Every structure is written in structure tokens, then in C-alpha cells.
Amino acid sequence: MQLTRTVRRSHALPLVLAPALLVAACGSGDTTDAASGPATADSLTVAVAKDSGPLNIFVGQTDQMTELVYDKLLSPSPYVAEPQPWLATGVRQVNPTTWDVDLRDDVTWHDGEAFTPDDVVFSFHFMHAAPTGRFTHHVNDVPSISTIDVTGEHSVRFVCDYSCPELGTVTLADLPILPEHVWANVDPAKVKEVTDLPVGTGPFKLVDYNPTTGYRFEANADYFAGAPTVDELIMPVIADSSAAFTALRSGQVDAVDRALPPELVDQFTASNDIGTIDVDPLGFTELRINFTREPFAQADFRTALGFAFDRDKMLDIVALGKGRPSTQGYVHPDAPFADPDADTPYDPAQAAALFDSLGWKDVDGDGLRENPAGEKPAPFKLVVNGGNPQHVRAAELFVEDFGEAGFAVVVEPLEAGSLSSASSNKEYDFLINDIVPHGTADPTQLIMSHRSGYLWDSPKIAYPEYDALYEKWRATDNYDDRVVVLKEIQKLINSQPTTLPLYYAEETWAYDAESFSGWVETPGYGIVHKWSFLPADVVAAANAEAPQD
């Protein structure tokens, strides 16, 4: 029986066993006719946007890079309806708090050591102890895993502190497994200091990293799922998008690890030398609202801001119409648990009425509102990455929209590092940034985002309506009931938003059509990821390729 979301939601908690590499293929995204290159390659050069260091997973790496080296128990991700067993051969829920996992017995680490159940147990205990990292909350809070034990020669058992119906196809489809024999000597408190090249079970080995030249990966010919279709990946860091796509046009690189800017799409799709694939990413660009400051701490004030934002104009001008207006708000509408009936309309009249009712009125007739004390407030500050033209243009549109609502907003362009600092320290009124699929399409992260300071900072800051829904969510025993509560949470947070999605982009990714044709879209990851470099039957079996529209 294959592992599916339907099975894991069952009240009966039946056996869920599935050999990896069993599922029928899905279709891919739309491609141009230029996709006529070979299905294999000796070497590909892919420009990457940032220097991620030697791929220490506790120091903020991109999932796409990490998963070239590491594998998870299920694949490809929590963002598909039916993630499939990968390092696992089967997963079954025993009761609301307990899951049993059967493991493969034919997997080796890159250094030749055998993969064992002890590696799985160690990985989860180590992430529990580590104070940092994108994965640690998945074992410490949402869900809260109390014990992981070896139960057989090739099996382990997970026990959670409270019901964890998502563990089987969310948590286990997200966390990479670490080699105990490598990480056991690392102090969890010092994980950020690890600079050794990583050892994984994945389809590629990172054999060279240099801050100047970037990355070089070699194929793992003994990969348990099948030898990769590309022998070598060379990944230079080209942060500037214009330079990266110029390198693609000139043949210096075979692909770029990000979507084309909207203004380049027509030019690249018209080229006979360039192949393109249209994808629907699960992340989006957003306007964050600093709910720790007045007047944004007031729910009704944030509600009014939501009504004052013209989503159609944002899509048309910033994304050149390539995508969908963000009328469903948060989360991404393509997330498996998204509420299809969510609605966040543009209603300037309703915004004006709300601001008036809160005592924010234009007393002197200059077009700008005074605060309830009758004082003219200082302009709100919107910080943005000054090197990102789309974000800057979006900021200009927010200045227009909020200006029409009666508020002055000044834009402060920052370089990337300063923007990250402003975000972490909440030194802004508004901030434009990108949020990745982990934030917008993972149901456990939606809960955690309210506990981490991103969407809220519970329980540090009171939010009675959310707190009540959180307790209701914790009390549910099965996935179906959890989704019902998640939709209530979506309705609440969209009615008094702490972030406003700008639009749901449609992205176009480009590649050299003559060098390689194996590129596929997997939900949330574009086309530069390990699934583009594995045999087609392996990709199909993992349910990794996005279906056609």
C-alpha cells in the first residue's frame, strides 16, 4: 500500500507500507520547444545566488543545495500530496502520538559507512539538542518528539508529546538524516562552527568548496535510487541576476538557480538556444507588518491596511501580470492544506471607514491622517533590499496605496545584510522580503511561525484568538481535523494580517537547451534540485515532478 495523505488522515490508523520507486509518473511544467538537448551530461555549470558555505545544514542553507548531498526518510517534500518512502521503506501511525518507520538496508554514506537505524535516532536527538537551524523546531515544538528508539534491525519508532498526525508525511519528508559517525563528535552548541565538507547518502558528493570559485559536486555512482544522469555539477556564485542570466545567454553557464526576472521572460522564451519551464512556486514576496509597534499592534489597524492594498495593481506592475493576485492571502493557495475560500479583498472604502473608527482622521484636510491624539505622526518606514528592482518597485506601490489611505510612508533601501539585521531585530514598520515554501506551504511551520516572532510571538505577546485556535489544533488527533483548524487560523490571520503577500508569482526558469534536457519542476523548488539529475523513473516513483496544469 502506498503512503498517502488519505491514509495518514485515517481515524483507523491502518498499516502504511510502500516500497520506494513505485508510483506512476506525473507530468511536468510547460516547456519550450528548445528542450532538445541530451538526457545525460558529463558536467553542468549552474550559477547559484549566494555563497552558502560548506553546506552545514545548521547555517541556513537552501534546501535545493542541501538535498544534493542529504536524503530524507520520505521524498520529495511536504509540499506534495503524496510524499513517498525514500530512506524509509514504510511508515505507519500506531496511535495519535506514535509512528513506526521501516528503513532501507542497502544504503551507504558517501564515505562507505553503512546507513543504519542508529543514524536516524541520532539525527533527531542531535537536532533536538542543537540550538539553531532551520530544522530544529520540527523535533522540539511542532511536533514535539519525546523519544526515538531503534525497534529492530531496520526499524525505528517515534513518540510525540502530543498528537502528531503530520509527522509521517510532513516532518519525515522535511528533515535530512545525518551520519552519526561524523556528527557524534560535534558539540550541538557549536554546530555553526563546522566547516568540513558534508557526508550524506544523497546523489552527489560535495568534493570542493571555495568562497571564490564556488562548488563542485561529483555524482554518487552507488546511489541507492540509481546513478545520477549528470556526472559533475559546477556551481559558481553569481549573486547579481543580470550577470547570471548574461552568463546563461553567452553559454558560460548551463542554468541559473532562480527564475527569470519578468522583464526577461519574453526575450528568453523567444530564443532558439534557451529552453524554459514555467513553474508555480509555493513561496512569495510579502510586506511584513511590525506587529510589535503601535499602531500595528492593533488588530483592526492591520485589518484596514489589508483593505488598502491593491493586489491586482501589484501583480500587473511588479510581476507584469505573470501569476495570480494575492487575494487568498496567507498561506500559498497551492499548499496542500490551503483554504480555497480564503479572501482578502482590496476595499479602500472599508479601509477608510476602519481608520476613521479608530480615530485616525484627516483633520486638517492635507490628505494625511492625524492619530487619535490629533497629532501628525512621523512617516512609516518601509525597508527594502535596494539591489532588488522588483522589491523596490513594490515598495513604491505601497507608498502610493497607503498614501491614498492617508499615511505617509518613506522607503529606506538597504543592502542584503542590513535588511536581514533589520528583519531579525524588527527595526522597521514595514519590510519587503521573500518567504520560501517552508514558511508558506508547511502546515507545522504555519503554527511555528506564530511562536517564532515571524507571524506572531506567542506566548510572549497575547493573542487570545490565535491561542484558542492553537490549543484546538493541539487537541486534534488526525490530519483532517487539523486541516479544519488550520483553515480557521488562515481566516483569522488574513482578517488581521501581520504580513501581506504581494502576489502569487508564475515563474519561468531558463537553461541551455543544447547541454541538457533533464530539467523538471518539483513543487516549491523550481528546476535546480536533485530531481533534475536523477533517472526519469526514479523521479516518477518519488512523486517528485509537478503535474501539468
- DSSP assignments along 438-472, one per residue: HHHS-HHHHHHHTTTTSS--TTTS--HHHHHHHHH
pLDDT of residue 416: 87
Architecture per CATH, 5-199+512-541: Alpha-Beta Complex (3.90)
Domains 5-199+512-541 and 286-505 share a fold: no
pLDDT surpasses 60 at 2: no
Cα 371 from Cα 125, distance rounded (Å): 51
| Inter-CA distances, 177 with 16, 87, 166, Å | 21, 9, 18
Cα 248 from Cα 257, distance rounded (Å): 11
177: three-class secondary structure by DSSP: coil
Q: Which of these, 226, 228, 200, 182, lies nearest to 43 by C-alpha position?
A: 228
360: three-class secondary structure by DSSP: coil
Q: Which of these, 503, 274, 534, lies nearest to 393 by C-alpha position?
A: 503
Cα 345 from Cα 329, distance rounded (Å): 9
pLDDT of residue 548: 61
Cα 266 from Cα 41, distance rounded (Å): 27
Q: Which of these, 313, 406, 325, lies nearest to 366 by C-alpha position?
A: 406
* pLDDT (average), residues 220-247: 96
- Grid coordinates standing for 270? 523567444
* pLDDT (average), residues 34-52: 89
Cα 490 from Cα 328, distance rounded (Å): 9
The more confidently predicted of residues 347 and 452 is 347
| Inter-CA distances, 408 with 291, 295, 369, 396, Å | 18, 14, 9, 12
Q: Which amino acid is at 366?
A: D
Q: Which of these, 353, 347, 393, lies nearest to 369 by C-alpha position?
A: 353
Cis peptide leading into residue 143 (ω within 30°):
yes
pLDDT of residue 459: 87
Cα 426 from Cα 301, distance rounded (Å): 18
Report the share of the chain in percent with pLDDT over 70: 93
* pLDDT (average), residues 446-453: 93
Q: Which of these, 447, 443, 438, 446, lies nearest to 471 by C-alpha position?
A: 447
Mean pLDDT (the chain, rounded): 91
pLDDT of residue 549: 58
* pLDDT (average), residues 253-281: 94
pLDDT of residue 8: 28
pLDDT surpasses 80 at 411: yes
At residue 309's C-alpha, the angle toward residues 307 and 315, to 5°, is 135
CB 142 within 8 A of CB 444: yes
Q: Which amino acid is at 112?
A: G
- Grid coordinates standing for 6? 488519505
pLDDT surpasses 60 at 35: no
Report the share of the chain in percent with pLDDT over 90: 85
Length of the chain: 549
* pLDDT (average), residues 530-535: 98
pLDDT surpasses 60 at 300: yes
pLDDT surpasses 80 at 401: yes
430: three-class secondary structure by DSSP: strand
Cα 25 from Cα 472, distance rounded (Å): 38
Count CA within 13 A, CB hemisphere, residue 332.
28
Burial of residue 185 (CB within 10 Å: 0-12, 13-18, 19+) is exposed
- Grid coordinates standing for 158? 517515534
pLDDT in tens, 344-354: 999 999 999 99
pLDDT in tens, 127-177: 989 877 778 777 888 999 999 999 999 999 999 999 999 999 999 999 999
Helix (H) / strand (E) containing 274: strand 274-279
Q: Residue 323: which pLDDT band, with cuts at 50, 70 and 90? A: very high
Other CB atoms within 10 Å distance of the CB of residue 251: 12
286: three-class secondary structure by DSSP: strand
Cα 537 from Cα 545, distance rounded (Å): 11
In the chain, what are the domain boundaries? Answer: 5-199+512-541, 286-505
Backbone angles phi, psi at 74, to 5 degrees: -125, 155
Q: Which of these, 146, 227, 208, lies nearest to 535 by C-alpha position?
A: 227
pLDDT of residue 480: 95
Q: Which pTM does this prediction carry?
A: 0.89
258: three-class secondary structure by DSSP: coil
Quick one: fold of 286-505? Dipeptide-binding Protein; domain 3 (3.10.105)
Cis peptide leading into residue 459 (ω within 30°):
yes
* pLDDT (average), residues 476-498: 97
